[in-house]
Amino acid sequence: MLAKSSTELVRQQNSALVLSALRRHGRLAHTEISDATGLASATISSITADLERARIIEKSEQQATVGRGRPRVLFSQRRNCGYLITVIISSDSIQYSLVDYAGTLLDRFTEPRGEGGTAAFLAAISAALIRVAERSRIDRGSVLLVSVSSKGLAHPTEPVLVWSPVFGSQPVDFAAALKDGWQAKVILNNETLLVAGALLEREVKTRGGGEPVLAALSLGHSIGLGIARRAPAGVPEISAPNFGHMLHMPNGGLCRCGARGCVEAYAGFYAILRAAFEVPMDTIPAKFVPVAEIDKIATRARQGNRMAQLAFRHAGAALGFGLSRLLSLHGPMPVFITGPGTRYQDLLQAGIEEGLAQTHVVRLGGMPTLTIVADEPSLVFEGHLNLAFSIVDQDIIGSRQNMQAAGE
């Protein structure tokens, strides 16, 4: 019995490798799947046959471009095997996207984030999810997973937002948004965790492996951090430490979380606004500051206004000190800076370098590479797909093998 279970586990892992290769590279021939996964040709033949019978993947033919050779047989995911919905929650809006099993975007719309408490918030999401299915005329039962992302602190195992800038410590359970007619699994992740995972995957695709570990620092209304590390088994290790609410200065400025002296209380948009206008540091922070207001402060700073310059310099220093602690704990790694705050990098840079220069690891090994990646929304969506489909693939394979075992 143990040997049988071990064999089934290996087969399940190999099937997941095949599906992962198809997601990363698109349609592949038999030999290309073998090259991408390192699995033997006979193993690929057996797995693709099983996945095709289960209607998880499908075959297509590509005619030879030269001569009269036989067409190439290519494998790809079967698009209608199931569907995924992503829900990306921002400070002032919520974006909904419907994606088929092959990763094709079918529909997308954005709605303003309404007022009211958690009950009204979840009711609005529930109604929007129903509209997602109705707009594309798909059965709700064919939605395999709903993937939600937000700023804030997510529960480690449940789709519950433990703390957020809007609702504070009032928990938000996203499983409550899916009621009758839904069979989909619901997952919740911190937005910057997804960004870090997407960046690591881009490194693998574009550089044949790329960085073994990296950090994603998101600048905006909130300050987020994600760390992504390649693991020997091929499944990346991704985490989102509560960087924005890490202590920067004891008994310092008031943060949106209610504590004093957090990194965000010095580097978030509301912190820059507060510093530029010399507002007392114990003033209750605004929940949302329009980017246009920070743009005005940036313009003044670039024109030589001293207080505006200091506001960005102090924000950069808070980020630099925080990153120095990160590198001291986790070792050297490149840092990718994302989010709407990247438009002020010229004003933040000196402060960031000042903060980083204070740490022993930087003095010994030099400054980490800081790379600006401005298109954060694309990274968030890519991160949703990467993580969600890895879960969906495992669930489909496991369910299929359980059905086969029950029939024996």
How high is the pLDDT of residue 69? 63
How high is the pLDDT of residue 97? 98
* Cα–Cα distances in angstroms (integers) from residue 365 to residues 173, 348, 360, 372, 375, in the given order: 44, 22, 9, 21, 29
How high is the pLDDT of residue 264? 96
- Non-local (6+) Cβ contacts of 124 within 8 A are 94, 111, 114
pTM: 0.89
Q: Which domains does the chain have, with CATH numbers?
A: 2-77 (1.10.10.10), 81-191+378-400 (3.30.420.40), 194-376 (3.30.420.40)
| pLDDT tens track, the chain, 408 positions | 344 467 777 888 888 889 988 988 889 998 999 998 889 999 999 999 999 888 898 988 777 666 566 778 899 999 999 999 999 999 889 999 999 999 999 999 999 988 888 999 999 999 999 999 999 999 999 999 999 999 989 999 999 999 988 888 899 999 998 877 799 999 999 999 999 999 999 987 776 666 789 999 999 999 999 999 987 656 789 999 999 999 999 999 999 999 999 999 999 999 999 999 999 999 988 878 999 999 999 999 999 999 999 999 999 999 999 999 999 999 999 999 999 999 999 999 999 999 999 888 888 889 999 999 999 999 999 999 999 999 999 888 877 655 555 554
How high is the pLDDT of residue 396? 87
Output the 3-class SS for the chain: CHHHHHHHHHHHHHHHHHHHHHHHHCCEEHHHHHHHHCCCHHHHHHHHHHHHHCCCEEEEEECCCCCCCCCEEEEEECHHHCEEEEEEECCCEEEEEEEECCCCEEEEEEEECCCCCHHHHHHHHHHHHHHHHHHHCCCHHHEEEEEEEECCEECCCCCEEEEECCCECCCEEHHHHCCCCCCCEEEEEEHHHHHHHHHHHHHHHHHCCCCCEEEEEEECCCEEEEEEECCCCCCCEEECCCHHHCECCCCCCECCCCCECECHHHHCHHHHHHHHCCCCCCCCCCCCCCHHHHHHHHHHHHCCCHHHHHHHHHHHHHHHHHHHHHHHHHCCCCEEEECHHHHHHHHHHHHHHHHHCCCHHHHHHCCCCEEECCCHHHHHHHHHHHHHHHHHHHHHHHHHHHHHHHHC
How high is the pLDDT of residue 36? 86
